[in-house]
Chain A
Amino acid sequence: MTLTAWAATATFLFVYALIATEKIHRVAAALGGAGVMLLIHATNAETAFFSEATGIDWNVIFLLFGMMVIVGVLKQTGVFEYLAIWAAKRAKGRPYPLMVLLVAITAFASALLDNVTTVLLVAPVTFLVCERLALPAAPYLIAEALASNIGGAATLVGDPPNIIIASRANLSFNDFLVHMAPMVVVLMIAFILLCRVMFRRAFRYDPDRVAEIMSLDEREAIKDRRLLVQSLVVLGLVMAAFVLHPVLHYEPSVVALLGAGVLVAATKVTTSDALSEVEWPTLTFFAGLFVMVGALVHTGVIGLVSEAAADAFAGRLGVATMGLLGGSAVISAIVDNIPYVATMAPIVGELVQSAGGEAAQVLWWALAFGADLGGNATAVGAAANVVVLGIAARNGTPISFWQFTKYGLLTTIITVGLCVPYLWLRYLVGA
């Protein structure tokens, strides 16, 4: 390795430690790291900004941007509040069916939208419903956060790690629907059954309180029906265009941008309102990460790690797959899964290439399942978990780190455990 490669590695590890320990803001750490990489010539402006393989992945940035704008408009329609209250009424105030419906809605919404937005929308309704039924809100909030992370694994746009994997591995929306979504449905069924056991003490049914729920009028949540229809039509068209990629040949980033543009142009939502929902720090964080990881690729560090990994796992695809699944889950439980997947994507890419053949694609699914589901293990493993803890504290029902983690860890062990036979039987037997 050259001196520059060593310096790039040291910079990367230092910045990763800063991100993991949250000593400074993750955006500052990523941008600072990117700046150092440029300063020491581990990368250069042309590579960092214009190279598809070793620069900022604009497909990822613009896909996230477009979806954030769409979600920002959709949030204003009140559709989530409508669905959650409708679910509570359908459950007739019975605690377990209520939890089943709320987690199902959360998981489904998380598959189409980002997880943090989903829990931000569902959590306030959960407080209202639980207050009416005199139920503890914490178990419901924890279940929703866990469901959002499981549901998000189902599609290309459901979780940021999937967006990175799709772009780096050249996988389509349909690939995720075929390889991830069916297993996510199984995982959700298992999770719903698990909730019955994990939160059994919280399910206290009081028939006298049912009227409290039935008096809520969910139709009042929808203030602007025209905006709701417009938003749902655009979201439907965006999802259809994702699925029709083999026919239309529009990249997901282009589809999301077009959808966002149409929504802003066709509705009364102002551009500034729509843009106010864009999480600029997250997009900047991604840009900084891509420059840093690109520098590691550019200086050959990733190539060396990939070669070592390829040698270690040569002819042992099964071991590599399970190692990647478990390792990704453990690491994602402790640190943010976005920088982890951004770093691992080029390494897994090399591994898939060196292993050759369609069979090696299983490594991508192992990475996706491990990173997406691992985030559930601890209260700080995923952004949705942190957001739920914050909302709970603000509303006077604080959830402690360990209170969340004991449920999250069990959920992660079971869901990741279920992925082992899935990956083994579907991809490795006879490969």
Chain B
Amino acid sequence: MRARDVLAAFPPITADTPASEAARLLSEHKAPGLIVVDDRGKPRGILPGVHVLRLAVPGYCQEDPALARVIDEPHADHFLDPLAGRKVADALPWVSRDLPVVDSEATVLEVAALMARTGSPLVAVMSEGHLIGAVTLQTLLERVVAQ
């Protein structure tokens, strides 16, 4: 089984994409992360979903879990509101030198090894220099376990 057999089409985003749009795409595609591409469509990095959360959740709640508890439910339900006006670039912690990118001909073991090494739950799949989709940890495991 090759990467091309387990990939799914993934909407790429850029560093200028609104963070709220990234949150919507994560939810819509049930994705653990999104692929960030540059102006030429080349993968620049992976935006893990938790980094969108880090941008949205106030620093004081992250530093002190007790403070997340004291906030009432109606306010807690709107914790994504601070994403308004923010961009994906604000949530990207670094530009990874070891991008989780594989060729469409890579075996599932190569994909798994890359995920394990980079800690990314999402791997971009390229074919002839073009981004054609992504493999998520969930899809990978589902397909391999189902064999």
A residues near B (Cβ < 8 Å) are 78, 81, 85, 121, 123-125, 127-128, 131, 212, 215-218, 220-221, 223, 391, 394-396
Question: 3 tightest A-B contacts by CB?
Answer: A124-B60, A220-B69, A78-B66
Q: Which of B6-14, B70-78, B101-109, B117-125 contacts the other chain?
A: B70-78
A121-B66 Cα distance, complex, nearest whole Å: 11
Q: Is the interface of B mostly helix, strand, loop or mixed?
A: helix
Partner of B69, one of A123, A124, A125, A223: A223
A124 to B58, CA, bound (A): 10
A395 to B58 alpha-carbon distance, docked (Å): 8
Within 8 Å by CB of A220, from B58, B60, B70, B75, lies B70
A residues less than 8 Å from B66 (CB atoms): 78, 81, 220-221, 223
Instruction: Please report the C-alpha to C-alpha distance between residue A131 and residue B67 in the assembled complex, in whole angstroms.
Output: 13
Cβ of B59 and Cβ of A85 under 8 Å apart?
A: no
Contact of B58 among A123, A131, A215, A391 (CB under 8 A): A131
Which residue of chain B lies nearest to A81 when distances are taken between CB atoms in the complex? B66
Question: What is the CA–CA distance of A216 and B72 in the complex, to the nearest angstrom?
Answer: 6
User: B83: shortest Cβ distance to chain A, in Å?
Assistant: 14
Find the A residue at minimum CB distance from B69. Answer: A220
> Can you give 7 A-B contacts (C-beta < 8 A)?
A78-B66, A81-B70, A125-B67, A128-B60, A212-B75, A220-B70, A221-B70
Q: In the bound complex, do residue A218 and residue B70 qualify as a contact, i.e. CB atoms below 8 Å apart?
A: yes
Inside 8 A of A125's CB, which chain B residues have their CB? Answer: 60, 64, 67
Residues of B with C-beta under 8 A to A123: 60
Give residues of chain B (36-74) contacting chain A, Cβ–Cβ below 8 Å: 58-61, 63-64, 66-67, 69-72, 74
Shortest Cβ distance from residue B147 to the other chain A in the assembled complex, whole angstroms: 42
CA distance A421 to B66 in the complex (A): 44
Number of A-B contacts (CB under 8 A): 54
A105 to chain B minimum Cβ distance, whole angstroms, is 15
Given contacts A127-B58, A128-B58, A395-B59, contact A81 B64 (CB under 8 A): yes
14 further A-B contacts with Cβ under 8 Å, apart from A125-B60, A128-B58, A221-B70, are: A78-B66, A81-B64, A81-B66, A124-B67, A127-B60, A128-B70, A131-B58, A215-B75, A216-B70, A217-B70, A217-B72, A220-B69, A220-B70, A221-B66
Q: B residues within 8 A CB of A215?
A: 72, 74-75
Contact B67 A128 (CB under 8 A): yes
* A396 surroundings in chain B (CB, below 8 A): 59
Tell me the nearest residue of chain A to B68, going by C-beta: A220
Contact A85:B70 (CB < 8 A) given known A125-B64, A215-B75: yes
User: Which residues from chain A contact B58 at a C-beta distance below 8 Å?
Assistant: 127-128, 131, 395
Cβ of A131: which chain B residues have Cβ within 8 Å of it? 58
Which residues from B are CB-within-8-Å of A81?
64, 66-67, 70
**Neighbouring A residues of B59 by C-beta, 8 Å:** 124, 127, 394-396
Name which of B59, B60, B71 has the most chain A CB atoms within 10 A of its CB: B60
Question: B63 to chain A: which residues have CB within 8 Å?
Answer: 124, 391, 394
Among A124, A218, A223: residue with most chain B CB under 10 A: A124
Name the residue in B59, B70, B71, B74 with the highest tally of chain A Cβ atoms < 10 Å from its Cβ.
B70
**CB closest residue in chain A, given B74:** A215
CB-CB < 8 A to A395: which residues of B?
Answer: 58-60
**A-chain residues with CB within 8 Å of residue B74 when the two chains form the complex:** 215
Q: Which residues of A contact B60 (CB under 8 A)?
A: 123-125, 127-128, 395
Q: How far is the CA of A344 from the CA of B74 in the complex (A)?
A: 56
Q: How far is the CA of A121 from the CA of B64 in the complex (A)?
A: 8
A212 to chain B, nearest CB (A): 8
Query: In the docked arrangement, what's the CA distance between A396 and B117, Å?
Result: 32
Closest chain A CB from B64 CB (angstroms): 4
Docked CA distance A395–B59 (Å): 6
